[in-house]
């Protein structure tokens, strides 16, 4: 049975792996009656302190959440406690990457009125353009590296970093997008990112690309699948641009016209590289301004020797910034 914690109680501890290695960046939250009363993050040595500044009464529970680890919840064992919490590894559950997610022959470039209507309905469920800026923050893990096509879906591949990320939700104006497109010629490169094109990071935290006016203006929509629980819409550029890159791909909508997943391939003037990405999304919530917020995103681009540069991003605990 959990204890009733007075306002002066304090909990200190360390979060470690089964091997004893400290785990940094773990979100530690104190919960009372279904509400978070305090939230902290472990330091580089895995240490944390719950100060007990909040006035609480009732059973207190602690939760421990870290990317790549199983979430653990426990009742507060006593007042002024010192804890050692062991988190078990849980590799990121990422769906397999399909590098050819948006095949080159996907686009019929035929406008379908029903597909357009579904896109408009989906768009209306999210944070609207020209609304006041919504500031959000969340916990973020990114993995970067190079590999073969077969290695791209291995969650543990690449260098990992994690931490909080902050964003101001924006939708790029149509005139700016028409000028820059979705890819621009690179002036040069460095290391494994040497390439001929710089690619737009679609829906990476602060962007609302698939609900924006330019996206609707620049693409035709065709209905690939329609059912009670899932609909799939292909999007294709209306015309090729000689100086900037474009995208084509598929949007997967749930039965209530919420965007569940997007996959795309970049189409550029020569050299047309094998580059693309995909994203999965959270349900829109009023607490975050009904923003289109990514859960996981991927990006890949072919480099040399049949290998690919890739980035995998995962976002959790999106919140609205209150000022």
Q: DSSP of 112-161, one letter per residue?
A: -HHHHHHHHHHHHTSPPTTSPPEEEEEEEEEEEEEE-GGGTT-TT-SEEE
Question: What b/e string do you get for 206-217 counting C-beta neighbours within 10 Å, with b at 16 or more?
Answer: bbbbbbbebbbe
61 pLDDT above the threshold of 60: yes
- CB count, 10 Å around CB of 145? 18
State the greatest distance between any 2 C-alpha atoms of the chain, in Å, as a whole number.
68
What is the pLDDT, as a whole number, of residue 189? 53
Question: CA 229, CA 267: separation in Å to the nearest integer?
Answer: 30
87 pLDDT above the threshold of 80: yes
Residues with Cβ within 8 Å of residue 150, at least 6 apart in sequence: none
For residue 61, list its beta bridge partners.
31, 75
Among the residue ranges 111-125, 131-145, 176-190, 264-278, the one predicted with the least confidence is 176-190
What is the pLDDT, as a whole number, of residue 103? 41
pLDDT-derived band at 195, boundaries 50, 70, 90: low
What is the pLDDT, as a whole number, of residue 35? 64
180 pLDDT above the threshold of 70: yes
Question: CA 11, CA 14: separation in Å to the nearest integer?
Answer: 10
Judged by DSSP in three states, 178 sits in helix
Answer whether 154's CB lies under 8 Å from 215's CB.
no
Question: CA 90, CA 156: separation in Å to the nearest integer?
Answer: 11
- pLDDT > 70 fraction of the chain, expressed in percent and rounded: 76
Judged by DSSP in three states, 200 sits in coil
Question: CA 226, CA 119: separation in Å to the nearest integer?
Answer: 13
What is the pLDDT, as a whole number, of residue 276? 92
**Residue position matching structure tokens 């590296």:** 145
Q: What is the DSSP string of 231-295?
A: EEEEEEESS--SSSBEEEEEEEEETTS-EEEEEEEEE-SSS---EEEEEEEPPP-GGGTT---EE
Neighbour order of strands in the sheet with 60-65: 35-41, 27-32, 60-65, 72-75
Q: Compute the CA torsion angle 13, 18, 19, 21 (nearest 10 deg).
A: -30
**Residue position matching structure tokens 């996981």:** 296
More confident residue, 173 or 209: 209
Question: CA 320, CA 205: separation in Å to the nearest integer?
Answer: 12
Give 89's DSSP letter: B
Q: What is the average pLDDT value for the chain, to the nearest integer?
A: 78
Among the residue ranges 90-104, 212-226, 251-265, 282-296, the one predicted with the least confidence is 90-104
Could you tell me which of 272, 179, 186, 184 has the C-alpha nearest to residue 218?
A: 179
pLDDT tens-digit series, residues 109-130: 678 888 999 999 999 988 887 7
Backbone angles phi, psi at 249, to 5 degrees: 170, -150
């Amino acid at each position: 049975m959990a204890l009733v914690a007075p306002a002066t109680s304090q909990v200190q501890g360390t979060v470690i792996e089964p091997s004893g290695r400290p785990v940094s960046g773990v979100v530690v939250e104190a919960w009372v009656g279904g509400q978070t009363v305090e939230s902290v993050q472990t330091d580089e040595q895995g240490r944390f302190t719950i100060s007990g500044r909040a006035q609480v009464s009732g059973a207190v529970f602690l939760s421990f959440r870290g990317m790549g680890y199983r979430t653990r919840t426990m009742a507060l064992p006593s007042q002024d406690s010192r804890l050692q919490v062991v988190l078990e590894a849980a590799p990121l559950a990422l769906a397999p990457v399909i590098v050819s997610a948006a095949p080159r022959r996907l686009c019929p470039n035929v406008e379908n009125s029903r597909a357009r209507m579904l896109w408009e309905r989906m768009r209306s469920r999210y944070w609207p353009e020209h609304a006041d800026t919504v500031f959000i923050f969340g916990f973020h893990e990114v993995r970067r590296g190079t590999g073969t096509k077969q290695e791209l879906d291995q969650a543990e591949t690449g260098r990992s970093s994690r931490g909080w990320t902050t964003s101001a939700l924006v939708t790029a104006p149509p005139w700016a997008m028409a000028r820059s497109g979705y890819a621009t010629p690179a002036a040069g490169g460095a290391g494994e990112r040497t390439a001929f094109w710089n690619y737009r990071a679609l829906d990476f935290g602060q962007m609302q690309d698939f609900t924006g006016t330019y996206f609707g203006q620049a693409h035709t929509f065709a209905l690939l699948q329609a059912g009670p629980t899932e609909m799939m819409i292909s999007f294709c550029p209306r015309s090729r641009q000689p100086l900037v890159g474009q995208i084509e791909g598929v949007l997967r909508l749930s039965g209530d016209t919420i965007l569940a997943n997007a996959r795309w391939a970049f189409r550029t003037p020569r050299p047309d590289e094998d580059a693309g990405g995909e994203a999965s999304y959270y349900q829109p919530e009023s607490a975050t301004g009904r923003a289109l917020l990514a859960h996981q995103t991927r990006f890949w681009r072919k480099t040399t020797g049949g290998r690919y540069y890739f980035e995998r991003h995962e976002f959790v605990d999106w919140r609205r910034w209150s000022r």
